[in-house]
Amino acid sequence: MNKKRQAIWDKSGGKCWYCGSDLPEKGWHADHFEPIQRNWWDGTCEHPELDTEDNKVPACASCNLNKHSMPLESWRKIIQGYVFSLNRDSTQYRLAKRYGLIQETDVKVTFWFEKHGCEEGKPFSEE
Ligand SMILES: [Zn+2]
């Protein structure tokens, strides 16, 4: 791992900034915490000033791809709505729920860095 990636990895000690899963040594993403909104047509971005090391956090591929270029609060609402859309759209989900395999809660989506008292984009330090 090069020095820049190592510094990003160290912000969480190898956890996904959002879901908290252990990151694999290969295949984790450096996410722009505040989205830079890259243009699909030519790879340029709407907010090049946010393309800094301070704004990059370690993320698992699923979180990074799912967050895409959404601001955090928009993404939180999307995740919060997944139970609703699963109930609406997935026969398998509804059936699994009916058989007691799934128990819904009304917990609020809380990201790993929020539970661990990290400030936005600031390195995580162990006590
Ligand atoms: Zn994740």
Domains of the chain in sequence order: 3-115 (1.10.30)
User: What average pLDDT does the segment 38-57 reach?
Assistant: 87
4 C-alpha to ligand 1 centroid (Å): 20
- Summarised one tens digit per residue, pLDDT across range 5-40 is 999 999 999 999 999 999 999 999 999 999 988 787
Q: How far is the CA of 91 from the centre of ligand 1 (A)?
A: 26
What's the number of CA atoms in the CB half-sphere (13 Å) around residue 13?
9
What distance in angstroms lies between residue 67's CA and the mean position of ligand 1's atoms?
Answer: 10
How much distance in Å is there from the Cα of 19 to the middle of ligand 1?
Answer: 4
pLDDT digits (tens, 9 = 90+) for 55-101: 999 999 999 999 998 999 999 999 999 999 999 999 999 999 999 99
Q: Nearest to residue 67, comparing CAs of 89, 87, 57? A: 57
